[in-house]
Amino acid sequence: MSMKLEHIGIAVTSIERHLEVWRDIFGFVVGEMTEVTGQKVKVVMLDVGGVHVELIEPLGQDSPIHKFIEKRGEGLHHLSFEVKDLKEMIEELKKRGVRMIDDVPRSGAHGSVVTFVHPSSTGGVLIELSQEGAVEQEV
Ligand code: ZN
């Protein structure tokens, strides 16, 4: 399997507040702020040296990230791995008994498609699998 760590997702109540550490004190370069309306979040990426940290802030009370923070507090939310062919990867993982959250890729940020592997299969950490530019390719 060909997977590469792309980013580490951290759930926060306020991106602005946490940029005071990640950007202003740590000095990491911040990308554009994006809203992923399908998942009711806004996200910002910081380049932390080859991989990224994604700060994720809920957009409203019905956001899954809002529920996550309510239950577990701010903190590590997921690891995101880039894959070459997401559909093929999902089939392969299912065949090997890995528990998936979604069987069908959904749209993520920046024209990517994503899917999630259930934490019960990975030692308690939610895993996002992402294929870059897949949406544009299909058009
Ligand atoms: Zn992510």
Per-residue tens of pLDDT for the chain, all 139 residues: 789 999 999 999 999 999 999 999 999 999 989 998 888 999 999 999 989 999 999 999 999 999 999 999 999 999 999 999 999 999 999 999 999 998 889 887 767 899 999 999 999 999 999 998 765 544 3
d(CA 112, CA 31) in angstroms, rounded, equals 16
CA 123 vs CA 12, 13, 15, 103, 117: distances in Å = 22, 25, 27, 20, 11
Span from the CA of 131 to the centroid of ligand 1 (angstroms): 12
Cα(118) to ligand 1 centroid in Å equals: 14
Give alpha helix (H) positions in 1-139: 15-22, 64-72, 86-95, 134-138
Kindly list the domain boundaries of the chain, sorted by start residue: 3-132
CATH among 1.10.260.30, 3.50.50.60, 3.10.180.10, 3.30.70.260 for 3-132:
3.10.180.10
Please provide the distance, in angstroms rounded to a whole number, between the alpha carbons at the two ends of the chain.
Answer: 26
Going by C-alpha positions, the residue among 49, 84, 46, 42 that lies closest to residue 66 is 42
**Cα of 55 to ligand 1 centre, how many Å?**
9
